[in-house]
Structure 1
């Protein structure tokens, strides 16, 4: 069975997340999603929503077969447990593909690292958690 891993913060779900997970699911037969722990999110503000709640929301999405919180210290431990054929990165995620491939090779993990496609926002959409938060603050503060 071809397992795919997608990962992210998934703080406030929006259509961009759904697009990413649909695209990732199309790369294999089973989609596993690793939801980043709040303490491991260092490249942007900490999530607003708790980790367990983010996992519950992601797991409820149609393309997702399994969702779990990431490991608190080693992001590759869940990948070792899942044994995916593909790791699908979001089109705009900050990860370095070559760096991930090197870390996987060091651990003897044989899987492809692929960038998912992006999605253009329609005029009435916001495809960024940060932009959703900004709009709430602007309109409700």
Structure 2
């Protein structure tokens, strides 16, 4: 059985997230998704949706077999426990693939690292969704246009 791990913040679910998870699931028999903890999101604004709710939403998606929260102190701990054959990265995730392979090897893991191509719909990012809401709903301030 080929296990695949996908990771991400998954704030404000959108078609790009679904595409990433569908493409990840196609690579194996079982898809685990590690949802980033609120405290660990440092490379972009903090999530709008709390981590427990993001986890619940991701777990409900059809391609997902298992969804868990990431570890607060060691991002590799869940990966060591799952022992995946493949780890997928989203097209815009900030990981150096070679460095990730080295870090995995240091922990005795020989997982293949695969970057999933982007989904280029008009609302394929949480920041674009937030921007559209602000521009269309709050152009002149709350309640008016």
Q: TM-score range by the shorter chain?
A: over 0.9
- Rounded Cα–Cα distance in structure 1 between residues aligned with 2:28 and 2:55: 21
Render the CA deviation track for 1:86-137: whole Å, top value 9, x for unaligned: 000011211110111010011111110010122221xxx3001011111111
Q: TM-score, normalised by structure 2?
A: 0.93
Q: Which has the larger radius of gyration?
A: 2
Q: How does 1:129-140 map to 2 (within 5 A)?
A: 129-140=126-137
Residue aligning to 1:128: 125
Residue aligning to 1:9: 9
Q: How does 1:25-104 map to 2 (within 5 A)?
A: 25-104=25-104
Aligned residues: 138
- Rounded Cα–Cα distance in structure 2 between residues aligned with 1:91 and 1:23: 12
Q: What stretches of structure 2 of length at least 5 have no aligned partner?
A: 139-145
Residue aligning to 1:118: 118
Q: TM-score, normalised by structure 1?
A: 0.95
- Rounded Cα–Cα distance in structure 2 between residues aligned with 1:26 and 1:75: 24
Render the CA deviation track for 1:8-35: whole Å, top value 9, x for unaligned: 0000000000000000000100000000
Q: What stretches of structure 1 of length at least 5 have no aligned partner?
A: none
Render the CA deviation track for 1:34-68: whole Å, top value 9, x for unaligned: 00001111110000101010010001100000001
- Aligned-residue RMSD, C-alpha: 0.8
- Rounded Cα–Cα distance in structure 2 between residues aligned with 1:117 and 1:63: 17
| Partner SS state of residue 39, structure 2 | helix
